[in-house]
């Protein structure tokens, strides 16, 4: 068998890139005794997941460099902030994943060759929330 004799199956390509920021929040909608109703912080990790049926040259779903404006947005708007003071919603990981997906769709999607599949938000190494973008 030679390398050129491998036939490639049909399917989709998926890539991901992880971004991070530090922020605090409290969830005011919880009862006073709940630990998350008090001010606390997280080292957030955000996974942006993109998909495509075919690749652009030289063989990318999307060039990771095209996601640089998202990193800039996180750094300028969310890093070292109290999320409950800057976001227009209760800053749960679920809401944050949906909001960040919306930001990407609105600000980057028109220029990206790949389609945003999902955004995953991790508050800790053991807990996460994911928002899967629906087809229009």
- Annotated catalytic residue 36: yes
Q: How far is C-alpha 91 from the geometric centre of its chain's CA atoms?
A: 15
Catalytic residue at 123? Answer: yes
Q: Exactly one of 36, 84, 94, 95 is catalytic; name it.
A: 36
* Token pair recorded at residue 127: 């807990």
Q: Where are the beta strands (DSSP E) in 53-112?
A: 81-82
Active-site residue flag, 72: no
In angstroms, rounded to a whole number, what is the distance separating the alpha carbons of residues 83 and 106?
21
| The one catalytic residue among 34, 72, 80, 85 | 80
What string of DSSP letters covers 12-49? -EEEEEEEEEEEEE--TTS-TTSGGGS-EEEEEEEEEE
Residue 67, sorted as left (phi over 0), alpha (psi -120 to 50) or beta, turns out to be: alpha
Any idea which residues carry the catalytic annotation? 36, 80, 123
């Amino acid at each position: 068998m030679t390398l050129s004799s491998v036939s490639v199956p049909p399917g989709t390509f998926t890539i991901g890139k992880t971004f991070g920021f530090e922020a605090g929040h409290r969830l005011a909608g919880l009862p006073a005794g709940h630990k998350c109703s008090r001010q606390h912080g997280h080292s957030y990790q955000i996974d942006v997941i993109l998909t495509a049926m075919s690749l652009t040259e030289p063989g990318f779903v999307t060039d990771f460099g095209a996601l640089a404006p998202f990193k800039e947005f996180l750094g300028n708007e969310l890093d070292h902030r109290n999320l409950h003071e800057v976001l227009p919603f209760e800053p749960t990981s679920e809401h944050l994943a949906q909001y960040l997906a919306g930001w990407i769709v609105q600000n980057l999607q028109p220029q990206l060759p790949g389609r945003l599949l999902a955004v995953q938000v991790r508050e800790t190494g053991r807990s996460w929330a994911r928002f899967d973008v629906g087809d229009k």
